[in-house]
Structure 1
């Protein structure tokens, strides 16, 4: 009888050890999944920040980021609650843990999909921005060419106007000099008529 009891106790210990190994394996898998989700969520938040800066719909991206942070905090609270329950509800926790892992794997798939979508949007934003810069540079070049052309046209107009003004001044000078010579001749003759010598005055 006693040897049978010892064998029975040995089997119980082996069974308990197997359960502990299963529990540790579940815990490791859960922790690894949580760490991976947290890392991906951090990466997703960074990508969202870049997308927010490059797109006009910044309010929507900020809202998604806040939701993701809130959801992450909820996951942390759930994990703390599960860790507290582990000491009191061992068997129940195993079932909940398996279900939770399945939910987190689904969440991980959704997060990866969101990350892929965000990266595609970011690439498109960069391409759109590059096209806008190229278009702006082309418009600036066209404007500079137009400005250069207008400057040359104004310079020609101004030079022509100055040439015309100088010609008019030269014509006016010649006319004034001619009239001045006539007036001086008349004045000289008038002085001679009065018996005065213009050189004596």
Structure 2
């Protein structure tokens, strides 16, 4: 039996499904790219914090050396010491503010990364659900097709059986008529016709 031709509706549904699949795939690629960019940004911020903390440690170490020198020359260099202390406090305040700012930025980026990962997980779940629905629909259509093939096969067999029995009945009727005609002609041929001229 020839398969059914696709209707315009099923073609349209397939095209819509392809568009939805392409959109989901594009969203998925964008999400993966966003996650990679955020991870790179976090790595750079972490390196910056480490550099700032290293600089802070170096500055403290440097200030300790300066303080030791100043202790030796306290009487002669009081003005220099107070200036260095003021600078140290200013740098420490600036670096502390910068560290807090970077820590806040890292926290925000981590939250954004978590949101992106949640969006990615949700999109994966939606895609999986759509795939399952598509597989279910395909299975139902295959089942319907199998049932239709079985029904058509049954109708065809029933029709052929009916036709065969009708042909058998007709053949039996023809054979009976043929036998009757044969006997009738045989009887006529075996009995000579009266007053028939001799040849």
1:107 alignment counterpart: 109
2:25 alignment counterpart: 58
Aligned-pair CA distance for 1:107: 1.2
CA deviations on 1:89-116 (whole Å, 9 max, x unpaired) are 7556554332221111011112223333
Give the whole-Å Cα distance in 2 for the aligned partners of 1:80 and 1:173. Answer: 106
Q: Does 1:76 align with 2:43?
A: yes
Aligned-pair CA distance for 1:62: 0.5
Any residues of structure 2 matched to 1:42-53 within 5 Å, and which?
none
2:77 alignment counterpart: none
Secondary structure of the residue aligned to 2:178 is helix
TM-score (norm 2): 0.51
Give the whole-Å Cα distance in 1 for the aligned partners of 2:112 and 2:49. Answer: 23
Aligned-pair CA distance for 1:158: 1.7
* Root mean square deviation, CA, Å: 3.8
Give the whole-Å Cα distance in 1 for the aligned partners of 2:95 and 2:35. Answer: 26
Aligned-pair CA distance for 1:88: 5.5
Q: What residue ranges of structure 2 are gaps of 5+ in the alignment?
A: 1-19, 60-90
Q: Between the two structures, name the one with larger relative contact order (CA 8 Å, sep ≥ 6).
A: 2
- Cα pair distance change 1:103/1:80, threshold 3 Å: closer
Does the 8 Å contact 2:52/2:95 carry over to 1? yes
Does the 8 Å contact 1:85/1:93 carry over to 2? yes
CA deviations on 1:148-168 (whole Å, 9 max, x unpaired) are 443333322221111001111
Aligned length: 140
* Residue of structure 2 aligned with 1:165, choices 164, 167, 187: 167
TM-score (norm 1): 0.50
Does the 8 Å contact 2:42/2:106 carry over to 1? no
